[in-house]
């Protein structure tokens, strides 16, 4: 495969990985207040995503893939709400370990990397166009 289309394929693997990351972030934000339903039950646990390089034999280069989607083992904080169905004997409810500030920062970083990959595709395309322009009179 010629290097320019290989560059496009690699950058598109980056787009895919980063968009999955944004999906994880939105899942975390959407569930930022998903509490348990039984007394003392655990609420939503924040999800994390880890990338890894993956050598693609067709391209002869490293693309990026998702290594694993894990969970954040961080502790839940407690809020006092004795009337809630998930309240424990002392009247405390566990709330998800999602910090909106961290999620927004993560999303900004994902968007930035997504844009960078998009730029690389754009540049590869302009290189291909410049090559084709050699055929013009």
Partner 1 sequence: MIEGINLFQTMSQKLDYLGVRHTLLAQNVANADTPGYKAQDLRAFSEALRTVQPAGMLATHQKHMVAEQGNTTYREDRRVEGWEVEPSGNQISLEEQMIEAADSVRQYQLATQLMKKHVSMLKATLSTRA
- The distance of closest approach from Cβ of residue 7 to partner 1 in the complex, given in angstroms and rounded to an integer, is 4
Residue with structure tokens 């490293």? 62
Closer by beta carbon to partner 1, 58 or else 83: 58
Cβ-count burial of 30 within 10 angstroms (0-12 exposed, 13-18 middle, 19+ buried)?
Answer: exposed
Closer by beta carbon to partner 1, 38 or else 135: 135
Q: Write the DSSP string, 1-29.
A: --HHHHHHHHHHHHHHHHHHHHHHHHHHH
The answer to whether 34 touches 44, Cβ cutoff 8 Å, is yes
Closer by beta carbon to partner 1, 33 or else 52: 52
Tokens of 19: 């968009």
Chain contacts with partner 1 (rule: CB under 8 A): 1-4, 6-8, 10-11, 13-14, 17-18, 21, 50-53, 57-64, 109-110, 112-113, 116-117, 119-120, 123-124, 126-127, 130-131, 133-134
Question: Up-side HSE of residue 14: CA atoms within 13 Å toward CB?
Answer: 20
Closer by beta carbon to partner 1, 53 or else 74: 53
């Amino acid at each position: 495969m010629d290097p320019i289309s290989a560059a496009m394929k690699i950058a598109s693997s980056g787009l895919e990985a980063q968009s999955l990351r944004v999906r994880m972030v939105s899942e975390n934000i959407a569930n930022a207040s998903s509490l348990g339903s039984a007394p003392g039950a655990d609420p939503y646990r924040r999800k994390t995503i880890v990338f890894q390089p993956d050598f693609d034999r067709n391209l002869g280069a490293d693309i990026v893939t998702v290594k694993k989607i894990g969970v954040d083992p961080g502790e839940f904080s407690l809020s006092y709400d004795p009337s809630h169905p998930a309240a424990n004997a002392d009247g405390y409810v566990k709330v998800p370990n999602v910090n909106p500030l961290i999620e927004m920062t993560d999303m900004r970083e994902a968007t930035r990397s997504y844009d960078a990959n998009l730029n690389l595709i754009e540049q590869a395309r302009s290189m291909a166009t410049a090559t084709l322009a050699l055929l013009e009179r």
